[in-house]
């Protein structure tokens, strides 16, 4: 953490002041360089009439001392840059798992909690394809489409992020505890803006949705009724300047009406996962470029032979990225960065479905 523990303690205290939301807290942080001045000698907040239970703040700090647990502020280098761009970005993020994953190119998959069998299969298939092509799949860990998306991503390369509407000391819904554990164990992450011990209240989920869309370069809605919370996520994505995709369905299905409404409002109609990847491929390379420049030295082998070995695995037609990963034996992250380096040097070109080698 880049924020000193003393300053972080006061920041976490402000986070727990009753009635304190992300917009108000961000305004306070912009206008106050010494957060200790916002509390009197007894620890009461001078910002509002609310009081702070400092024992709960200590629980936050104790939680962050556990392995693989992180508290990120906007000043932290691991705070996701895309999320920072939205106007009501959370000042604090709690992360369990791979915090570096938050800066990677992400596609959100959202939808109803009561999907059809076809909707569940679509969510899994699309998520698996996204994962294999280098995208991280982000969703909300809810029952239904969210859970299917996380499972699909785990069937691929395994990179997936679950954004929760409660503190990360518990998992909601409880039926997804095993899935949450699998996400972390496979290099993914659980994310929340809510402190430790905060329950999953209904009012938290619209706030969670803006984080799901804010982390992602695009949002895919699989199945959604007209009153679905997934439409809120899609609307937020549009407001944040992100791409929105929707899978069409039967005109007689209530679960297709939300998607059809989005399409009429300008969302891109997609029938295959390749359609989404083709749309976002160029944007993915733009987002990943900054991270490549920061991490290439610490992430990749320095020897030129490793690049030559990887190049040898790519054909002059189209080679899917999952095939390159399998042949090379490297991680998806390393392969993605190396492919970008090879593309920038003119050795390969991104094509629909993967990469192709260029003639020397």
DSSP-derived secondary structure for 213-232: HHH-SEEEE-S--TT-HHHH
Query: Boundaries of CATH 3.40.50.450 in the chain?
Result: 99-276
Q: What pLDDT score was predicted for residue 297?
A: 42
Can you say whether residue 86 is alpha, beta or left, with left for phi > 0 and alpha for psi between -120 and 50 degrees? beta
In whole angstroms, what is the distance from residue 278 CA to residue 350 CA? 10
* Alpha-carbon span 255 to 347, nearest angstrom: 45
What is 300-357's CATH number? 1.10.10.10
- Chunk the chain into consecutive blocks of 10 residues (it has 360) and report each block's average pLDDT, rounded to whole numbers: 64 86 85 78 70 89 96 94 93 96 95 97 96 93 98 92 98 98 97 97 95 97 94 95 96 95 95 89 56 45 69 87 84 80 82 80
The CATH code that applies to domain 99-276 is 3.40.50.450
Residue 109: the pLDDT is 98
In degrees, rounded to 5, the angle at the alpha carbon of residue 127 between the alpha carbons of residues 115 and 103 is 125
DSSP string of 5-27? Answer: HHHHHHHHHHHTSTT--HHHHHH
Q: What is the pLDDT of residue 73?
A: 94
Tell me if residue 293 falls in helix, strand or coil. helix
pTM exceeds 0.85, yes or no: no
Domain with CATH 1.10.10.10 in the chain: 300-357
């Amino acid at each position: 953490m880049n924020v000193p523990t003393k300053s972080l303690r006061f920041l976490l205290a402000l986070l727990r002041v009753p009635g304190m939301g992300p917009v108000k807290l961000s305004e306070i942080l912009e206008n106050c360089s010494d957060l200790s001045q916002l509390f009197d000698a007894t620890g009461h907040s001078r910002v509002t009439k609310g009081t702070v239970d400092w024992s709960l703040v200590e629980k936050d700090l104790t939680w962050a001392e556990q392995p693989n647990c992180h508290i990120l502020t906007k000043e932290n280098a691991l705070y996701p840059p895309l999320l920072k761009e939205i106007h009501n970005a959370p000042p604090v993020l709690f992360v369990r798992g791979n915090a570096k994953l938050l800066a990677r190119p992400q596609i959100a998959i959202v939808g109803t909690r009561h999907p059809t069998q076809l909707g569940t299969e679509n969510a899994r298939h699309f998520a698996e394809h996204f994962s294999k092509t280098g995208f991280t799949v982000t969703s909300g860990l809810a029952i239904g489409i969210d859970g299917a998306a996380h499972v699909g991503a785990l069937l691929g390369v395994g990179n997936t992020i679950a954004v929760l509407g409660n503190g990360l000391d518990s998992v909601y819904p409880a039926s997804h505890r095993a899935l949450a554990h699998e996400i972390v164990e496979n290099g993914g992450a659980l994310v929340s803006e809510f402190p430790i011990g905060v329950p999953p209240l209904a009012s938290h989920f619209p706030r969670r949705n803006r984080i799901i869309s804010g982390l992602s370069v695009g949002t895919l809605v699989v199945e959604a009724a007209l009153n679905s919370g997934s439409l809120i996520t899609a609307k937020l994505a549009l407001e944040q300047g992100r791409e929105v995709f929707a899978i069409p369905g039967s005109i007689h299905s209530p679960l297709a009406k939300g998607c059809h409404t989005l399409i009429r409002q300008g969302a891109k109609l997609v029938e295959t996962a390749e359609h989404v990847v083709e749309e976002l491929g160029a944007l993915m390379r733009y987002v990943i470029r900054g991270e490549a420049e920061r991490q290439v030295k610490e992430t990749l082998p320095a020897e030129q032979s490793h690049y030559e070995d990887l190049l040898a695995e790519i054909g002059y037609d189209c080679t899917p990225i999952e095939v390159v990963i399998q042949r090379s034996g490297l991680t998806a992250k390393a392969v993605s960065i190396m492919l970008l380096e090879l593309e920038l040097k003119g050795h390969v070109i991104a094509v629909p479905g993967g990469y192709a080698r260029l003639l020397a």
